[in-house]
Amino acid sequence: MTPGLLYLAASIACSVTVAAMLKLARGWRIDVRQAIAVNYAVAATLCWALLRPASDTLFAAGTPWLTLAALGILLPSVFLAMAQAVRHAGVARSDAAQRLALFIPLIAAFLLFGETPDGRKLAAIALAFCALYCLLRRPSPDGEPAEGGRDRWLWPLIVWAGYGVIDVLFKQVARTGTAFSGALLLAFMLAGMLMLGYLVWRRARWEWRHALAGVALGLANFGNILTYIRAHQSLPGHPSVVFASMNMGVIALGALIGALAFRESLSRLNLLGLALALAAIVLMIPR
């Protein structure tokens, strides 16, 4: 197996590991808020040490602080939403909803940035919305709304919208010329400070086990980002392969882990949603 494929497999594994850890947090009585705060401290440290953003560009005159501030608020907020999503809807649905968020920047490109849509991209967007509906739909066997049904569709929907907006904001930062590594470091720092301020305000009782869980979460979270970047660097001539394989791999592995490790049940409609999600991603591969 080539280094590029190894990086890709590692990125997929790290992404699903984050969701699995959030799923396990309640059973292990982990304060997810504290874990997420520590996660951003770890991610920021690793970003500084491994991606080495240029210090002179971090606070340049053109730094888009409003956009970065929005990212600092959204990143921990959507992370908390992801924790609720995996708790109520499961790993498979939550990971699929997160991956389908990639279509929100595509819609934004058409509506906000004047990009001309083509038939293939419009078909992919239509399939993505059908997939999202099928994934979030979960009736009970007797036809009545399932207990806690609102949480089972609302939190994955928030995850889908939240990660989509985050992607749009990162693309906006890139349009200003700010280096990705620098923007990522600043966003992580702002997110960590926001979570720390929130926990101080809530007078949270800090415990080592919550912090250790946060370290593990931060390693997996940043590992996902770093190995995805390395996969693109190792396969420079195949960006579409990395893009499609990453998203399809997370959806497939998330469904497998959800079924085998957490005994999550998926209806035929949910399985159809997974298939439609994979088809939508395939349509996004440039011809």
Task: Check residue 139 and give its pLDDT.
Answer: 56
Query: In degrees rounded to 5, what are phi and psi of residue 143?
Result: 90, -10
Task: Check residue 285 and give its pLDDT.
Answer: 82
H/E element holding 142? Answer: none
Nearest to 185 by CA among 81, 71, 15: 71
Task: Check residue 229 and give its pLDDT.
Answer: 95
Count of the separate structural domains present in the chain: 1
Task: Check residue 251 and give its pLDDT.
Answer: 97
Task: Check residue 54 and give its pLDDT.
Answer: 84
∠ Cα 229 230 231 (to 5°): 90
Task: For residue 182, give its domain range.
Answer: 3-283
Q: Are 203 and 25 in contact (CB under 8 A)?
A: no
Q: Residue 1's Cα: distance from chain center in Å?
A: 26
pTM score: 0.93
In a 3-state reduction of DSSP, which class is residue 279? Answer: helix
Task: Check residue 148 and give its pLDDT.
Answer: 56
Task: Check residue 144 and give its pLDDT.
Answer: 46
Q: Are 110 and 117 in contact (CB under 8 A)?
A: yes
Could you list the pLDDT tens digit for every one of the 287 residues in the chain?
Answer: 689 999 999 999 999 999 999 999 999 999 999 999 999 999 999 999 999 998 776 777 778 999 999 999 999 999 999 999 999 999 999 999 999 999 999 999 888 878 888 899 999 999 999 999 999 986 555 544 454 578 999 999 999 999 999 999 998 998 888 889 999 999 999 999 999 999 999 999 999 999 999 999 999 999 999 999 999 999 998 888 899 999 999 999 999 999 999 999 889 999 999 999 999 999 988 76
Task: Round the CA-based radius of gyration of the chain to a whole number and report it.
Answer: 19
Rounded distance between C-alpha atoms, residue 276 and residue 5, angstroms = 25
